[in-house]
Chains A and B, each alone.
Chain A
């Protein structure tokens, strides 16, 4: 296959970022094209229909479903209050009536004379969508949402948990090889996104949640710790809805993994700035990676020279790569040769390989499937 390599994660000092902010169903858009918005500005709003609850009317009244009509005090579409009588039997001379009261405030959706069931609906609940990033509204999707654009530093992680949140970036380590430790987590970090180096452990995460820190970005995490945090083994990698009080972004992988130098340098440069982060990850067709976006307040001239991140062309001699599987996992190097023929590797599989020189000068042969391009 011509493109047998993994497209790299994107790490860029400055790029145009656009994010669609859509409602789950149609509603009202509250901003206009050209409006400057903050991350927490509400841009669209709607009402989600309430949950439904079936009620066995015929059964409760003790009548046949087809005879229900004669006992109803309310009809489909009517508004009902909790404990309001929906239906009643006539009883003997007006005595010994059987009454069915509404268990909720809401409306009657339908009443069936086949099954004797009434479907009741709770009142709608409001849903709001915020802008997520500081930027400008560039497009409106009528009744559905908007598109917000900003010029920003953009960093993709490899895996994350927890949803969207916003906070100030605080660097807690000197080098990308350092671990985050419990004593680094102090109450002053409340509301902030902390940056670590190669590892975050369960104790550190728990302390961070305790002090109200909203995000952690680090190179690696032990799967064992992740399981302990979540209380279950992640099956399929679809995350983002965990409610653990914190969003975690892993930039390199599972185990102790020093954060890539470039990512670390960029985060260091942006210390003290506001970031929008999202741990949501979906590793399926239509892959979705966790992200950290730091809007650049005054981009100056650089904005003109940068467009939306381009899709890379592929591996070439000289391309910077990261090896993403044992035995050289995590190492960075440059492609030195791309032989077209298949080669036999240690497992005896015949695969497309590439030759690369690592940062320490070591020359290695790696299956093309086991490298990712370092992209900008």
Chain B
């Protein structure tokens, strides 16, 4: 079937909008044809997700002149260029996505592995409970009772290890007698992925109380994680239980040719495919209205984290609550009264679908976005770590490195590409605004390619990759990924601003940037240029502390951004100086009109 695909229809049912895209094979290559959208219809008065899907597909029909719907059905046998599609696929995060609770014996070991399995499957982890998390048993029971997750993943113990701790966790879950969010009449799915010797005991405790599924241990030995069986089971249960009880999903499931994927799971698998395809390390971020997801692939290890309450509309107030007003204000290039700023943020919270009409409002929203991205990235760094509790064999030379187990895998100097997605980044009026938001939040080091998702179609391509990886990768490069260009950011600091920091030489001459400044060198998307980068003493640009790099660099819609603000990066504390600095950077990069 893979080679015969001519016309592909994909939808993503988000919490507020359902987006449909049409992909076709034109002249031997897969390309995006058009996109349509409509409000999601999970809630009253419609309470049927397929209504929104039909409306979004209806918009695609209007825009292309093709006939895709016959009454209220998708025409699934492509008849000719004007009628029908070969395949229909979908992702979904409507109804709050998949909300899970995970449990494990040791918080920093099996419980953490369980959280990684759930996050990797596209879930929001509401709470992690562990035998050693310091809470009393009745407190743990209370948490399970109150949170009403969609599913629980229970792990714990290596195979052949002690069973009593896992049994105790199972008893706590059983005692809480948890009820699912949707529907009174069915049992809560619980997946057991712990010590295989404890299976019978867990079965005895939980069979009556929950819908128990058993899979291979996700940490069979301390040195190895085996997350795939648990992740697959989560997807399966998500379809069978959670989705099947959400309004209209039974119908939608019957329409799609492959299983509906949770949206973040689809975006994650696309980033993973990309890293594999190019043999690089990659990082992606999707900033939504309610949640912000970060995905990374370092050393071939894929990690995903979701910051469930960091976002730009529904969760905007939580960004304020988590980071504090000072951290938002520091990115705003003018003076603003704290009380006024607070009111503006709350007013966006209560009317989440409004958009900034004035430049002042845009600058404020982009300041908040920087903090949402920064916090989400911080959470990712602490979660994307090597396995803890593992004994490492060391040689003499390693003893000086003193690397500990459980260190973060995120290595900004080793990162090759950083991709942004979601409204705040995909729909920023100028692409350079997205580039600067990414740089300020993630602080890339050395040389890093930057990109954004053109129209937020990574979820669709993620699920398409399950069916036809080549088609998904092809459309990704041609229509989805907008190359912004490169960020060149030397490591090091100087005592004062204005001292020489970095030089970039090419056929066109030499370009130097002083410490504390930023610069933008135009280089179009289809252009390539041989350059030599040299840094002054005290600064370096490569992973091995190189001060000189020769390379061929490719361009983007923004070009090359030289960030000579130093790493670690620090904003001036004094308000006047800070505003002057921000203004000079915005001017150098032409971030806003009239600056």
Contact = CB atoms under 8 A, between A and B. Distances in A.
* Among B38, B355, B361: residue with most chain A CB under 10 A: B355
B43 A285 contact: yes
Interface in A84-123: 109-110, 112, 114-115, 117, 119
A253 B353 contact: no
B317 interface: yes
B350 to A, nearest CB: 5
Interface string A213-256: 00000000011101100001111110000000000000001110
A76 to B, nearest CB: 12
Contacts of A367: 354-355, 357
Contacts of A223: 339, 342-343, 345-346
B354 A369 contact: yes
Nearest to B176: A52
B141 interface: yes
Contacts of A6: 351, 353-354
A284 B345 CA distance: 16
B136 to A, nearest CB: 9
A110 B171 CA distance: 9
B38 A52 contact: no
A236 B387 CA distance: 33
A369 B349 contact: no
Interface string A35-75: 00000000000000001111000000000010000000000
Given A1-B39, A223-B342, A346-B357, A253 B172 contact: no
A77 B167 CA distance: 21
A1 B37 contact: yes
A65 B343 CA distance: 58
A287 B350 CA distance: 10
Interface stretch (A128-136, A167-175, A185-193, A319-327): A319-327
Contacts of B138: 51-54
A115 B168 contact: yes
Given A6-B351, A254-B346, A114 B201 contact: yes
B142 A325 contact: no
A367 B356 CA distance: 9
Interface residues of A, number: 55
B352 A283 contact: yes
Nearest to A256: B343
B164 A115 contact: yes
A303 B174 CA distance: 51
A222 B175 CA distance: 44
Interface stretch (A147-155, A259-267, A270-278, A347-355): A347-355
Interface in B328-364: 338-340, 342-347, 349-362
Which label, helix, strand, loop or mixed, suits the secondary structure of the A interface? Answer: loop
B347 A1 contact: no
B161 interface: no
A286 interface: yes
Interface string B51-77: 000010001000000000000000000
Given A52-B138, A326-B361, A347 B356 contact: yes
B229 interface: no
B386 interface: no
Interface in B127-147: 137-138, 141-142
B134 to A, nearest CB: 16
Nearest to B140: A54
Interface in A307-326: 311, 324-326
B320 interface: yes
Contact of A349 (B37, B290, B338, B427): B427
Nearest to A344: B429
A361 to B, nearest CB: 21
Contact of A347 (B167, B322, B351, B357): B357
Contacts of A3: 38-39
Contacts of A53: 137-138
B94 interface: yes
B273 interface: no
A281 B354 CA distance: 18
A345 interface: yes
B87 interface: no
A280 B308 CA distance: 22
B396 interface: no
A158 B137 CA distance: 40
A233 B429 contact: no
Contacts of B17: 1
B28 interface: no
Contacts of B345: 223
A117 to B, nearest CB: 6
Contacts of A109: 175
A285 B350 contact: no
Nearest to A330: B347
A234 B342 CA distance: 11
B38 A347 contact: no
Contacts of A285: 15-16, 40, 42-43, 94-96
A54 B169 CA distance: 12
A110 B201 CA distance: 14
Contacts of A114: 163-164, 167, 201
A168 B72 CA distance: 51
B309 interface: yes
Nearest to A232: B321
A205 interface: no
B442 interface: no
A114 B167 CA distance: 7
Nearest to A112: B171
A287 B289 CA distance: 14
B318 interface: yes
A109 to B, nearest CB: 6
Interface in A280-312: 281, 283-287, 311
22 contacts: A53-B138, A115-B167, A115-B171, A158-B350, A234-B317, A235-B321, A253-B351, A254-B344, A254-B346, A255-B340, A285-B15, A285-B95, A286-B44, A324-B351, A326-B360, A326-B361, A327-B358, A345-B357, A347-B356, A347-B361, A348-B429, A370-B357
Given A53-B138, A54-B175, A325-B355, 10 more contacts: A1-B39, A158-B350, A222-B339, A224-B338, A226-B346, A237-B317, A287-B43, A346-B357, A347-B359, A367-B357
Interface of A: 1-3, 6, 51-54, 65, 109-110, 112, 114-115, 117, 119, 158-159, 222-224, 226-227, 232-237, 253-255, 281, 283-287, 311, 324-327, 329, 345-349, 351, 366-367, 369-370, 372
The 5 closest A-B pairs by CB, nearest first: A235-B318, A348-B429, A233-B321, A223-B342, A254-B346
